[in-house]
Amino acid sequence: MAGVSAAAKLSPHASVTVLEREPSLGYHSTGRSAAIFIRNYGNATLRALNVIAEPEFIEPIGISDRTLLSPRGQLLFGDDSEIDKLQSYADGSDGLVWLSQAETLEMVPILRIERVASSIYEHSAQEIDVDRMLQGYARLARANGAQIELAQGVESVGFTEGIWTLRTAKDTFQAPVVINAAGAWADNLAVIAGLGRMNLSPLRRSAVMIPSPTGYDTGQWPVFADIAETFYAKPGAGRIMISPADEDPVEPHDAWAEDMVLAEGIDRYERAVTVPVTRVERNWAGLRTFAPDRTPVVGFDRRAQGFFWLAGQGGYGIQTAPALSQITADLVLGRAGSIKADILAAIAPDRFLDI
Ligand SMILES: Cc1cc2nc3c(=O)[nH]c(=O)nc-3n(C[C@H](O)[C@H](O)[C@H](O)COP(=O)(O)OP(=O)(O)OC[C@H]3O[C@@H](n4cnc5c(N)ncnc54)[C@H](O)[C@@H]3O)c2cc1C
């Protein structure tokens, strides 16, 4: 998502080539997300980026002929001992409403009554059509003349006289600017380019898909989670996705879910609901790659001319893509953008560099 969205924004003004190691787009984190837009998700910088991103989801000009969002909502519940946690989440958020125990159970009738003292509900949380978004950015980039090269894993990166040379097993590519949008592999790419790491941590997050409990129409239920985030569930028509909300640090790889992590997550889910899980239809895992301050890393690396980071999107890389791709285009093209300086400083790679 990061590379292709940046290509879409840059391609009207520059010659752009996207190099993707896999034979298809969206094979890694982008194709494995929960596909949710939550305006109040993440720290203050991320919340500002979410707000900047939202209009492009609603009116994705050039990307799709209709909104990329559909209604879902998000409900965070807590028991008597967790009211403080609910309060502090609500204090830092916009547009949330408090629901009583009865209102909460009306919205998600399978929640166990003893687990719910009250809840906070974010009506504006929405489902993202990630595939339409990704394909729309790719189509736009290609229409503007960009090349999207699949099955082209970058194996070496060199810099001479203002030009970067990237080699794959098949071809050689040259450009004055390289955008490192390699997801969980962004630090590895920086290392082969001769730069240091940003200490990005790929954290594995797993999920299962289960059939909806018999007798319930889950199509209109919101995403629901305990405020301690020991799991979350995303209902849809006929199915519920459950995530153990795991964050296990791993090396970048083609991620898969561990049975024990899934079993523990399902157990935590079952302790919050009245209907047991009897069948798992499928499971998967993906990597959410975080910088140490859990804020994206976006901007030129001042140690190397023309080396740009677009990485560390963590659990927010789909919902922030419209904002981060716009910032990328503005910075790469040297345009005066409309993004506030404090946001640019908060995401700049400089914050981790002492030189
Ligand atoms: C279970 C789960 C739920 C999530 N839910 C949400 C959500 O609801 N909302 C949200 O906004 N975000 C969510 N996320 C996070 C989101 O998926 C990521 O932040 C986002 O997909 C990151 O996009 P990316 O393009 O940086 O990474 P990726 O999609 O991983 O793309 C990076 C690409 O770089 C390629 N690459 C790496 N090295 C090289 C190389 N040397 N040469 C060529 N290509 C290379 C890889 O093959 C890969 O395709 C979730 C993630 C997970 C795992």
Neighbours of 54 (CB within 10 A): 18
Neighbours of 333 (CB within 10 A): 14
User: What is the reported pLDDT for 265?
Assistant: 98
Q: What is the mean pLDDT of residues 317-345?
A: 95
In the predicted structure, residue 125 carries a pLDDT above the cut 90? yes
User: Which of 240, 231, 230 minimizes the C-alpha distance to 279?
Assistant: 240
Tokens of residue 178, six digits: 């390289």
User: Which of 84, 118, 114 minimizes the C-alpha distance to 100?
Assistant: 118
Tokens of residue 261, six digits: 């992590």
Neighbours of 305 (CB within 10 A): 13
The CATH class of the 74-123+201-290 domain is alpha beta
User: What is the reported pLDDT for 165?
Assistant: 98
Residue among 4, 18, 22, 28 to mutate when testing ligand 1 (max atoms within 8 A of CB): 28
In the predicted structure, residue 167 carries a pLDDT above the cut 80? yes
Tokens 């999107």 map to which residue? 313
Residue among 5, 19, 25, 33 to mutate when testing ligand 1 (max atoms within 8 A of CB): 33
CB-ligand 1 contact for 140 (6 Å cutoff): no
User: What is the reported pLDDT for 78?
Assistant: 98
Q: How far is the CA of 327 from the centre of ligand 1 (A)?
A: 18
Q: How far is the CA of 287 from the centre of ligand 1 (A)?
A: 7
Residue nearest to atom 51 of ligand 1 (CA): 33
CB-ligand 1 contact for 198 (6 Å cutoff): no
Tokens of residue 150, six digits: 């699949």
Residues forming a β-bridge with 202: 289
Residue 231 exposed, middle or buried by CB count within 10 Å (0-12, 13-18, 19+): buried
Report the nearest atom of ligand 1 relative to the CA of 3.
Answer: 25
CATH number of the domain at 2-67+129-200+293-352, please? 3.50.50.60
In the predicted structure, residue 316 carries a pLDDT above the cut 70? yes
Give the 3-state secondary structure of the chain. CHHHHHHHHHCCCCCCEEECCCCCCCCCHHHHCCCEECCCCCCHHHHHHHHHHHHHHHCCCCCCCCCCEEECCEEEEECHHHHHHHHHHHHCCCCEEEECHHHHHHHCCCECHHHCCEEEEECCCEEECHHHHHHHHHHHHHHCCCEEECCCCCCEEEEECCEEEEECCCCEEEECCEEECCHHHHHHHHHHCCCCCCCCEEEEEEEEEEECCCCCCHHHCCEEEECCCCCEEEEECCEEEEECCCCEECCCCCCCCCHHHHHHHHHHHHCCECCCCCCCCEEEEEEEEECCCCCCEEEECCCCCCEEEEECCHHHCCCCHHHHHHHHHHHHHCCCCCCCHHHHHHHCHHHHCCC
Q: What is the mean pLDDT of residues 101-130?
A: 97
Q: How far is the CA of 24 from the centre of ligand 1 (A)?
A: 13
Q: How far is the CA of 255 from the centre of ligand 1 (A)?
A: 11
pLDDT digits (tens, 9 = 90+) for 7-38: 999 999 999 999 999 999 999 999 999 999 99
Predicted structure pTM score: 0.97
User: What is the reported pLDDT for 307?
Assistant: 98
CB-ligand 1 contact for 157 (6 Å cutoff): no
Residue ranges covered by each domain of the chain: 2-67+129-200+293-352, 74-123+201-290
CB-ligand 1 contact for 35 (6 Å cutoff): yes
Report the nearest atom of ligand 1 relative to the CA of 311.
Answer: 26
Tokens 């919205």 map to which residue? 107
